[in-house]
């Protein structure tokens, strides 16, 4: 007979335990890190089991996909927080402000302007993370490192709240130096929150100061 002490951990329990362990190693509180379950491309029926286990913070890449599945899920479950972690087109700013509780992809002045106007119109301020192109990769979105101070200033002027910095390090390279660099940029600019770390490297990110980790495949399995 399987007992609670011997049953295998669910994927969610395993990820939470690993986050807590990484935080302990770094001398940080175990609850210092928010787990964002990246539910992009996964249907409502795949998301519901995580909600049943107590997960309440989810991330989506596309506004349109989120609009299709989250209103019903939110109606059925209290306390859901939805984060936009993918690139955002300026013409989708109003939709994003209406649907999401946090936006992780603020990366250019035109988007600052669009979000500022959308927040004014909606009468709500949605916290944002400035996405930094930490590896200076031409194919990736994100603000250039040198442009971070100016973008933060533009956000302040537009009354767009910035709560942190976000990055996606280059693939197939050790992520730690990029996480450390993002933490330094944040400290230099008086920013305390860091959205960094995904399924393959979230423990390293936690040890280097991540306050939000974005975990998808380790929770849901590989996408088809």
Residue partners of 142: CB distance under 8 A and separation at least 6: 107, 131, 132, 133, 134, 167, 168
166 forms beta bridges with 131, 195
Please tell me the predicted confidence (pLDDT) of residue 220.
92
All domains in the chain, ordered by first residue: 11-220 (3.20.20.10)
Interhelix angle 44-52/63-76, nearest 10 degrees: 50
195 forms beta bridges with 166, 212
C-alpha dihedral over 152, 83, 209, 111, to 10 degrees?
Answer: -20
Span 8-42, pLDDT tens digits: 889 999 999 999 999 999 999 989 999 999 999 99
Please give the backbone phi and psi of residue 160, each rounded to the nearest 5 degrees, phi first.
Answer: -100, 110
Span 94-105, pLDDT tens digits: 999 999 999 999
Alpha carbon distance 166, 143 (integer Å): 10
**Mean pLDDT, the chain, whole residue set:** 95
Q: Please tell me the pTM assigned to this model.
A: 0.94
């Amino acid at each position: 007979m399987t007992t609670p002490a011997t049953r295998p951990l669910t994927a969610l329990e395993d990820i939470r335990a690993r986050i807590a362990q990484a935080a302990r190693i770094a001398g940080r509180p175990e609850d210092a890190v928010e787990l964002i379950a990246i539910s992009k491309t996964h249907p409502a029926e795949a998301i519901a089991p995580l909600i049943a286990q107590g997960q309440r913070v989810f991330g989506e890449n596309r506004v349109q996909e989120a609009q299709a599945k989250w209103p019903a899920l939110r109606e059925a479950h209290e306390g859901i927080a939805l984060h936009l972690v993918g690139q955002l087109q300026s013409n989708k700013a109003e939709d994003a402000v209406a649907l999401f509780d946090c936006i992780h992809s603020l990366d250019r002045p035109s988007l600052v302007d669009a979000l500022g106007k959308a927040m004014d119109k909606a009468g709500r301020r949605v916290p944002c993370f400035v996405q930094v192109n930490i590896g200076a990769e031409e194919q990736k979105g994100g603000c250039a490192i040198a442009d971070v101070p100016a973008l933060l200033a533009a956000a302040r002027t537009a009354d767009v709240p910035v709560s942190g910095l976000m990055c996606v390090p280059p693939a197939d390279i050790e992520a730690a130096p990029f996480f450390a660099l993002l933490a330094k940029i944040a400290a230099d600019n008086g920013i305390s929150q860091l959205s960094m770390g995904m399924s393959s490297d979230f423990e390293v990110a936690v040890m280097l100061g991540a306050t939000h980790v974005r975990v998808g495949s380790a929770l849901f399995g590989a996408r088809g």
